[in-house]
Amino acid sequence: MKEQIKDKRKAILEAALKLFTERGFHGTSTAQISKEANVATGTLFNYFPTKEDLINSLYFEVKGNLSHAMGKDLEAKGTFQDKLKRIWSNLIKWGVSNQNEFLFVGQFCSSPYITKFTREEVMKEYVFLHNLVDEGIKTGEIRDFPADLVIAMFYQGSRTIVNFILDSDSSQDQNKVLEDGFQIIWRGLAKE
């Protein structure tokens, strides 16, 4: 028979993602993950020497997806506001259509797993956002706040919008909420 590509590792990560968002890190046993992934318990430990290792691997993987999605379609042309809006939109659309990943990041970041160091380290991965904000402050398009503060408000603002959408009845217009949210953040940050 034609073998499906052997990707037990991926299956394990996917199972873990699903169960972690449903039951938390410690609430999910390695046995449950293995079962969900249709894999023996031993196989899990071939790929990830410890459970903690699995959690961290998953986190870095998901963060990679997130920061990749964030920078999509960020061509050079367009006003500063356009570019910021593009990132805003990218973040929110990624969160809405990758619900488990989105929730997992939130869970991980407010859990004791993550140290201040790790959090800062990962923030540095958001190159697009960092560069753009620095530029915006330099050119005076963003008012004179600490860059870190601007980034935090922007990033957490987009998370708030995703959560808002996920909690809403699906009847709500997601695009309207995305726009409203950006209006709030943009007017809050922009000069004028």
Partner DNA sequence: AACATCACTGACTAATCAGTCAATTATCGA
Partner DNA sequence: TCGATAATTGACTGATTAGTCAGTGATGTT
State the residues that interact with DNA by CB under 7 A: 3, 6, 8, 26, 28-32, 38-43, 45-47, 49-52
Quick one: which segment of 57-65, 84-92, 130-138, 180-188 binds its own copies (CB under 8 A)?
180-188
| Residue 31 contact among its own copies, DNA, none, beta carbon within 5 to 8 Å by kind | DNA
Task: Using the minimum distance from each CB to its own copies, give the nearer residue, 8 or 155.
Answer: 155
| Residue 32 contact among its own copies, DNA, none, beta carbon within 5 to 8 Å by kind | DNA
Q: Which residue has the tokens 């367009």?
A: 78
| Residue 6 contact among its own copies, DNA, none, beta carbon within 5 to 8 Å by kind | DNA
Distance of closest approach, residue 177 Cβ to its own copies, in angstroms? 7
Could you tell me if residue 92 is left (phi over 0), alpha (psi between -120 and 50 degrees) or otherwise beta?
Answer: alpha
Task: Establish if 120 lies at the interface with its own copies (CB under 8 A).
Answer: yes
Task: Establish if 185 lies at the interface with its own copies (CB under 8 A).
Answer: yes
Of residues 4, 110, 170, 171, which one binds its own copies by CB under 8 A?
110
Q: Strand, helix or coil at 181?
A: helix
How many CA atoms does the CB half-sphere of 125 hold within 13 Å? 17
Q: Strand, helix or coil at 188?
A: helix
DSSP string, 15-74: HHHHHHHHH-STTS-HHHHHHHTT--HHHHHHH-SSHHHHHHHHHHHHHHHHHHHHTTT-
Number of H helices, E strands in the chain: 10, 0
Say which amino acid occupies 188: G
Residues that bind its own copies (CB under 8 A): 21-27, 103, 106-107, 109-113, 116, 119-120, 143, 145-146, 148-149, 152-153, 156-157, 159-160, 163-164, 167, 177, 180-181, 183-189
